[in-house]
Chain A
């Protein structure tokens, strides 16, 4: 049951977001990046969700406000807001990559009635200064949200949201950490992670515990063990396609997966905003400090420890941070004896013919 529920949501996260907007009494607060802390939206009485992935044939409206050299993630979010088929209470952007940083300005100009707030995340500073400033910036953000919604943040709701979202991440993190044992098929793990982005915390936890309780037996997978690294997993089907080709993800380094699930909010920090800020700035695996911290080596080391024999690097066309990182990631993996292949994702949510050739060749060329 629980598993069915998670898989159903993961199949069409956009539909889940729509149905939540229709059935719940609270408006949606949509975070555009995994660096936007949804706890804040929850605490203001919004239904916090991550922008749901949505298959698209094109961006007929979005192309009118955004050039074609932005990644599909950014293009499709613009398209979605312009289609107005997802009722939005508030949009939460994060300044980060150059494309995402421009989004609030683009939306303001195109849809003046759409309220957008920006979390101006400090980046690239290896010191406590970034965490401290992130907390200050979060306070600014809360004031801005308060001005838009006309009500203050609810401290009790913030505590509850932090606890609830932490519980979700801890469970997901456990699943991703368990990938090397291959007791649970990776596509089910990613389905849970994708569902978590749009489901409310309580229903997610209930569905999760039902799906992954010890009594529910799960067929493990047997393919060639691989690392999957990249930003967003395009769909559960994309993972299933990999599995059908004989690859089995045993090590994850995606925003959908362990990068986000690994974020921990310290319970002992009395300033709750500071605790959230630190959890984002010092996110393990993949933080805004990542470019100063020798991330590729870390990813390669973890992949090797998990027994990965090959690596699949998922790269969104026009995603600059991942394009900058790819060569050093490939090199770090090669150093530990793991060959890799780069799959460039544009709009497609399943593997293309060319991607299949790449993956198959990689797997066939392993000794």
Chain B
């Protein structure tokens, strides 16, 4: 058997990847809700991966069976980056419910920092604030790309930030400027996470949120280094899990547990 699957069951989206001879041959992304277990099965089926050896990862990694093993999404992310951006030294991942900065080398984790407690610095914060600003999600990128000065939004507590944003709106500031301020605040939060592990170039960013060009631009500004986005940034973790699956099937030593 030469095909292997990786299944990343995230809190927002479930991603599946299939690799063959070290090359990605198929990926899919499905919403995880309302039923993560079902989403996992559907993702495997749509990928044509039923019956293939699979390693699961992500928040719901324990939900799917049978599996060859399960790894943490950070280990899988590092492995995936090792394939799609082999030179990367640092990975910034902004997910729906958390964000992570991982120092990597040859597909392995050197150090990492993760924020999963506070909505600030995650896709969720952007989502909530876009709603307060009445900016539909499909227009987010356009509005956040307008050539206007961002208005600083200093509160990172979601409740405080919400009232700050409402306050700015009531002063008739244009939503685009506020949205850019919100984006700046999220990215500065991610940057402070990054400073904990040290931002070593080259930096790549992954996760669903960085599909927005505005997010990437703002992130690069906050981090003070250029960042690149690999193709399908949302699927890198699933790809990494598939790689680890192949390695494990070949009798490799990674990972330690699972």
Contacts and interface: CB of A to CB of B under 8 A. Distances in A.
Contacts of B19: none
B32 interface: no
Given A363-B257, A365-B109, A354 B98 contact: yes
A105 interface: no
A246 interface: yes
A364 B116 contact: no
A354 B114 contact: yes
Nearest to B109: A365
Q: Chain B interface secondary structure, helix, strand, loop or mixed? A: loop
Interface in B99-121: 108-112, 114, 116-117
Nearest to A356: B72
A365 B108 CA distance: 7
A246 B109 contact: no
Nearest to A353: B59
B110 A364 contact: no
A246 B72 CA distance: 13
A357 interface: yes
Contacts of A339: 111
B257 A360 contact: yes
A238 to B, nearest CB: 17
A365 B75 contact: yes
B72 A360 contact: yes
A277 B148 CA distance: 65
Nearest to A247: B257
A352 B73 CA distance: 15
Contacts, number: 51
Contacts of A245: 257
Nearest to A355: B116
A195 to B, nearest CB: 29
Contacts of A246: 256-257
Contact-residue size bin, chain B (C-beta under 8 Å from the other chain): 20 to 34
A330 to B, nearest CB: 10
A126 B52 CA distance: 64
Nearest to B79: A364
Contact of A357 (B108, B114, B255): B114
B117 A361 contact: no
B75 A361 contact: yes
B112 A344 contact: no
Contacts of A360: 71-72, 75, 257-258
26 contacts: A224-B256, A245-B257, A246-B257, A317-B117, A346-B117, A352-B116, A354-B98, A354-B116, A357-B72, A357-B116, A358-B114, A360-B257, A360-B258, A361-B75, A361-B109, A361-B112, A363-B256, A363-B257, A364-B72, A364-B75, A364-B254, A364-B256, A364-B257, A365-B75, A365-B108, A366-B256
Interface of B: 59, 71-75, 98, 108-112, 114, 116-117, 254-258
Interface of A: 224, 245-246, 317, 339, 344, 346, 352-354, 356-358, 360-361, 363-366
Given A246-B256, A360-B71, A365-B110, 8 more contacts: A224-B256, A354-B114, A357-B59, A358-B114, A361-B109, A361-B112, A364-B71, A366-B256
